[in-house]
Structure 1
């Protein structure tokens, strides 16, 4: 029996290609091999692996996860950083991935290799075919050059990936290709903001996908509700008291200052849980907590606000009328922010176990994934009978947007 090892780069490219291979080679033993050292950052690598694993589980194909080897890729493509898409860097990148696949195939007794890269309309089929055959021959293997795009393959891929609610990446993984596409612009895909799972971030999506993978492995129905919102990211901030930098946080959706703001304290107003510092010339405010410094989530959605900084109770004595302050804040707003709710079970189930997927930037205010997985496992029977559902809401820290969307949506699950 022919044994085929399939190099896989992502779930989207694999969702139809694997089905096509099973159709073309019904008597073959097929396994997957996920290896993409070009992907950056590592969280993106893991996210694409999880979606690949979901696809392989649905089809009944075993898939192997190769180690993340970004350093090896960077060294191999050194000197080709400015090559265009489909240029020499891409050829070398194909060679790295197929070489690793062929090595694994030879070790494990496979006869043939192929790659779902031939599914992507952004890849050069002829280059892949040439590289694939050269690598396969080197290891005494056959390379299956299947053009998955023929006969409506792209349309079938799009339909299947939509049905499976797969994560659609917006770049191949290569940082150099992304730099060229954005032409000097800020590239948020390559940056992690804080130590937590910010609403709308890759880390939040990764949390949801991990939970879904586990729930589906238990045979539970899952559905993701995606929703858009205006997202906000803190790029940098500075607070100095009499020229001395002090620790602080920033309230979500605070606007940027126009350069460095120099002002003095005008008055301090006492409220129930904090003191409010007002300045003489600007609308910037500072909240002094009655407790140690912490970030504060929003109870309801906000779209923009004057800059508000937060300090802990240890700095209360430092703020007096006339105190000199220096403030600088740079934030980014994005009207294309997107998060999602995950519903495990039927939406109309009477009882609901609720969690949320996001955290504050420092990682606080979140839920440990093990608690979510345990709840799903403990309630499996009730979920299957339709008596209970588990819902993980997105974007809680910016005003419970996910829960609001869930409660006011009319999507049939």
Structure 2
């Protein structure tokens, strides 16, 4: 089953986005390495005891290390050289307590600690990702690591408690723990690989959803998202709970494109987006609706609070010039604000009134805030 899951993952890697393939390759390698380690225990007659135990444990530890590397790559965590230590220490300990100073109990304890450290690091990486990345498959994978780590501790405690003899072999099928251990060890390569594939699938789905709801250049919400959120706000409005929005248009933006090129214009738009976003509160929404036009959904509020918010946005852009190759380029914006009224038919009508107010601000000299009629 481990070899089969590793093979299936290998076939699917080509269908994954390039950004996910390195993580998937590491996970596949970890699955196949653990499978080889299990195969060695399944056929103990292939090697003498000491090389068999040392190589099998080295493969298990290497597989867990590859799982950790896969998760670090998936969540874009920088790899740490210290994460190689559990595998190295565990392998050397197996060799020492098998060939030089035979002691099966100490060997099992050290290897169990190495397993637990690696699985604990995997859980840490799974828990430390962004909240937006939370998913059922990720929770499933975290649970699997925790369960196997818990079993590893129980297994070590059991062998310590029964005072195993010097000639005891973990490949001996007469002990019930030796029969259960490979079943539990297969959980991560078999069920874990399925969970990892589901995690990749959910990551791709979130990317598509994000692409459909955000502006490709600035990362702000796009017109579609603004319409959806604004529509829900509009439907929930009441005479006591009005909603307000500000339509923001960059003044003389064509001069930037003509004078410095369209690449500079894109950089300027990113700069303006970042400047405006820094002034937006948690209950507000900033969107780019096209070209050099932005809309700030100011949420529920009255006219005075909307004017203050809009003036804060206008002033922020004016205070923070755009720096291009060491040259300071002053940028200003004209803002039109509209507050919902009883005769507004829908959110689009509110947006149209803000647009008209913005053109009024343009006609009165730019770099100002005007209220819609």
Q: Is TM-score (shorter-chain normalized) higher than 0.5?
A: no
TM-score w.r.t. the length of structure 1 is 0.25
User: Of the two structures, which has the highest relative contact order with CA contacts closer than 8 Å and spacing of 6 or more?
Assistant: 1
TM-score w.r.t. the length of structure 2 is 0.27
Give the structure with higher Rg (CA).
2
